[in-house]
Amino acid sequence: MAENKKSVSRPGEWKPGSFIPRVSFTAYEHSEYSIRLKVRFLFYLLISLLIGVLSTLCMDLYLHTSSSARINFIGIIAAQVTLFGVLLICLYFLRKGRFHIAAHLLTIATLTTIWGVMFIDRSEPIMQLDTVILICGVLSMLPIVVTKKVQAIIGYILANIGILFLLVMYKSVTANLSYVVCVEYLTDSIIALVFIGVVVYNNFSINSRSIEKAEADIKEREAAESALRISEHKYRVLIENLNEATVLIDKDEVIQFVNKKFTEKLGYKLDDIIGRTTFDTFVPEEQKELVHEANSLRKFGISSQYELTLINRDGEQIPFLVSGAPIKDGDEIFSGSIATLTDITERKKIEDSIRASEERFRLLIESSPFAISVTDITGKYLLINTEYSLEFGFSQEEVIGKTPIELGMWPTEAQMQAIYTGLSESGKIEHYETTKFDKNGTEIPIYFSSRLVTMNGEPVVLSSLVNMTEKKKAEQVLERYRENLEQLVKQRTEELSEANEELLSINNELLAQREELQNALAELHLAQNQLIEAEKMASVGILAAGIAHEINNPLNFILGGVAGIEDYIQESMPGQMEELAPLISGIKMGVERASKIVTSLNHFSRSTDALDENCDVHSVIDNCLIMLENTLKHRVKITRDYSDVRFFVKGNEGKLHQAILNILTNANQAIDDEGTIIIHTLPDGDNVRIEIIDTGEGISSAILDKIFDPFFTTKEPGHGTGLGLSITYNIIKEHCGKIFVSSETAIGTRVMILLPLIKE
Distances (CA, A) of 296 to 196, 278, 332, 440, 545: 67, 13, 17, 60, 142
Going across the sheet that includes 443-455, the strands are 381-384, 371-376, 458-467, 443-455, 428-437
- What is the third-level CATH fold of 241-350? Beta-Lactamase (3.30.450)
pLDDT at residue 691, rounded to an integer? 96
For the question of whether the overall pTM of this predicted structure is more than 0.75, the answer is no
pLDDT at residue 169, rounded to an integer? 76
d(CA 444, CA 441): 9
Give 201-210 contacts, CB < 8 A, sequence gap 24+: 201/150, 201/153, 201/154, 203/143, 204/142, 204/143, 204/146, 204/150, 204/153, 205/150, 207/143
pLDDT at residue 683, rounded to an integer? 93
pLDDT at residue 553, rounded to an integer? 63
pLDDT at residue 753, rounded to an integer? 95
pLDDT at residue 444, rounded to an integer? 84
Q: What are phi and psi of 98, to 5 degrees?
A: -100, 70
Distances (CA, A) of 279 to 256, 258, 292, 303, 723: 14, 15, 8, 19, 117
Inter-residue contact 244 to 322 (CB < 8 Å): no
- What is the third-level CATH fold of 609-756? Heat Shock Protein 90 (3.30.565)
Q: Residue 91's closest CA among 59, 51, 63? A: 51
d(CA 318, CA 342): 10
Distances (CA, A) of 1 to 92, 272, 294, 332, 408: 47, 17, 21, 17, 68
pLDDT at residue 360, rounded to an integer? 79
Hey, do 368-467 and 502-607 end up sharing a CATH topology, with the first three levels equal?
no
pLDDT at residue 550, rounded to an integer? 61
Residues of the chain with pLDDT under 50: 1-24, 126
Distances (CA, A) of 86 to 80, 82, 98, 130: 10, 6, 15, 22
pLDDT at residue 94, rounded to an integer? 81
Per-domain residue ranges of the chain:
2-214, 241-350, 368-467, 502-607, 609-756
- What is the third-level CATH fold of 502-607? Helix Hairpins (1.10.287)
Distances (CA, A) of 526 to 6, 327, 385, 535, 731: 125, 119, 86, 14, 16
pLDDT at residue 220, rounded to an integer? 81
d(CA 14, CA 9): 9
Per CATH, domain 368-467 is 3.30.450.20: yes
pLDDT at residue 751, rounded to an integer? 95
pLDDT at residue 519, rounded to an integer? 77
pLDDT at residue 687, rounded to an integer? 94
Q: How many residues does the chain have?
A: 760
Inter-residue contact 446 to 435 (CB < 8 Å): yes
Q: Residue 71's closest CA among 112, 117, 32? A: 117
d(CA 649, CA 629): 25
